[in-house]
Amino acid sequence: MLAQEFIRRKRDGKDLAPADIADFIQGLTTGSVSEGQAAAFAMAVFLRGMSRAEAVALTEAMRDSGTVLDWRDLGRPVVDKHSTGGVGDNVSLMLAPMLAALGCAVPMISGRGLGHTGGTLDKLDAIPGYVSQPDLALFRKVVREAGCAVIGQTADLAPADKRLYAIRDVTGTVESVPLITASILSKKLAAGLEQLVLDVKTGTGAFMATAEEARELTESLVSVANGAGLKTSALITDMNEPLASAAGNAVEIANALDYLTGVRRDPRLHEVTVALGAELLHLAGLARSDMEGRAMLEGTLSSGKAAEHFQIMAAGLGGPKDLIENYRAQLPKAPIIRPVSAAGEGVVAHIDTRSLGLAVIELGGGRRVASDKIDHAVGLTELAGRGVSVGRDRPLALIHARDEASFARAAEMVRGSYRLGEAPPVSSPVLTRIGA
């Protein structure tokens, strides 16, 4: 079918045949489909949507646009998790080595920051020497040796997704649920996974701000993933406040290593980490119940095995061989580290979590445009959560800034992100719903 006829069919609300979808995506990969045609297709899907069968066909075609990895020679369950993004969400950094310590292979393909949300790759780039986008040979080697490797999408994996996403980013079609679904899952399928758990965020710091939007995306992701042969389930989790008490790059790495070594574990962060891990262990047949899976994961922390696997992964990808012992000295530090206090005293009643993410960008810890360089040292720590009393003795956060001007701008944004009350707000569970 001619590309223009293919686009016209979707524009008119008709279903697309799997073979035609495959041909169009092949053309997108080879360049025979123009950017204008790809943009028109994205807008047609944005406006008309896709059936589950169409979304499965699109996901599989994007998966097959490049290399599809095969890990069967490892003889281990090949698992992964994916988060739709938030603020202070560094779960991947802990969960990958925890699962590796339990005999799983975790070839995790992660992304860079998008909008107000932090990116796992940007965080890992804060580790001196860490190669976040290795070639496939090194990727395979580290997965074999460490049990896990957290890296970025290479040119070999789902190249159609790279091209289509860049077009969506500048044509107002990012929020299309079928296109989000295909973008996320094509990379996961190309990574050769056997089981996947999805963490779909909802709240003031999430792309899916309402429970209804999160539920729609969850149901799409789970049904399409399973339709494409990838055993998948999902949790919907709360992003009405930062998940960790830190937001930034080096500061979130430090927070993750504090977690793995037992120095500090933020309660909400711990709950989401073990819940996702237990769900994945159950999917992989390694745990018979949620309680058993949680106990197994806790064991990797108390024994130090999870920290050991993180160290092997980091060193294998070029990082320091003594990172776990000396991470405080090795991670970059901002020259200004100073508290920001609330205008008055009270209890944190509401947090505009998205605004806190934007404060990190204002400090230089994220990108305004794709070409921006990131300052890995800056960010926020000791973030006050909902229900915490703040005032003279308890600041809203510590700001890690490069200079006085960026500190002042970020301080104003942090103060504006918090609303205080006289009594603690009604608590909401961090795990709001299990998708099925």
Q: Which of 230, 245, 152, 249 is nearest to 186 (CA)?
A: 230
Catalytic residue among 112, 162, 163, 187: 187
Q: Cα 316–318–321 angle (5° rounding)?
A: 70
Question: Torsion over CA of 204, 207, 208 and 210, rounded to 10 degrees?
Answer: 20
Domain 72-327 coded CATH 3.30.200.20? no
Domain 336-421 belongs in CATH node 3.40.50.10490: no
As given in the structure block, the two tokens for residue 273 are: 């980490």
Catalytic residue, candidates 80, 125, 238, 266? 80
**14 is a catalytic site residue:** no
Q: Which of 63, 163, 168, 309 is catalytic?
A: 168
Which residue among 183, 218, 273, 417 is the active-site one? 183
Domains of the chain, by residue range, sit at 3-49, 72-327, 336-421
Question: What is 3-49's CATH number, 1.20.970.10, 3.30.160.100, 3.30.565.10, 2.60.40.10?
Answer: 1.20.970.10
- Residue 364: the pLDDT is 92
As a whole number of angstroms, the distance between CA 44 and CA 27 comes to: 17
With b meaning 16 or more CB within 10 Å and e meaning fewer, what string describes 177-187?
bbbbbbbbbbb
Q: What pLDDT score does 174 carry?
A: 78
Residue 302 is among the residues annotated as catalytic for this protein: no
Which is catalytic among the residues 10, 63, 81, 305? 81
Taking CA 395 as the corner, what is the angle to CA 393 and CA 400, rounded to the nearest 5 degrees?
Answer: 135
3-state secondary structure of 254: helix
Paired sense of beta strands 397-401 and 336-340, if any: antiparallel
Q: Which two tokens stand for residue 308?
A: 């050991």
Q: What is the pLDDT of residue 370?
A: 61
80 is catalytic: yes
Domains 3-49 and 336-421 share a fold: no
Decide if 376 is catalytic. no
Residue 333 bears catalytic tag: no
pLDDT of residue 436: 43
What is the block-wise mean pLDDT of the chain (436 residues), using blocks of 10 residues?
A: 93 96 96 95 96 96 95 94 91 97 94 68 94 92 97 86 85 87 93 94 84 89 94 93 96 98 96 96 96 98 98 98 96 98 94 94 82 89 96 96 97 97 82 59
**Whether 277 contacts 95, CB under 8 Å:** yes
CB count in 10 Å sphere of residue 385: 15
| Residues 6 or more apart in contact with residue 81 via CB below 8 angstroms | 91, 92, 95, 108, 196, 197, 198, 199, 276, 277, 280
* pTM score, whole prediction: 0.90
Q: Which helix (H) or strand (E) holds 79?
A: strand 79-83
Is 341 in the active site?
no
Asked if 162 is an active-site residue, the reply is no
201: annotated active-site residue: no
Is 188 designated active site?
yes
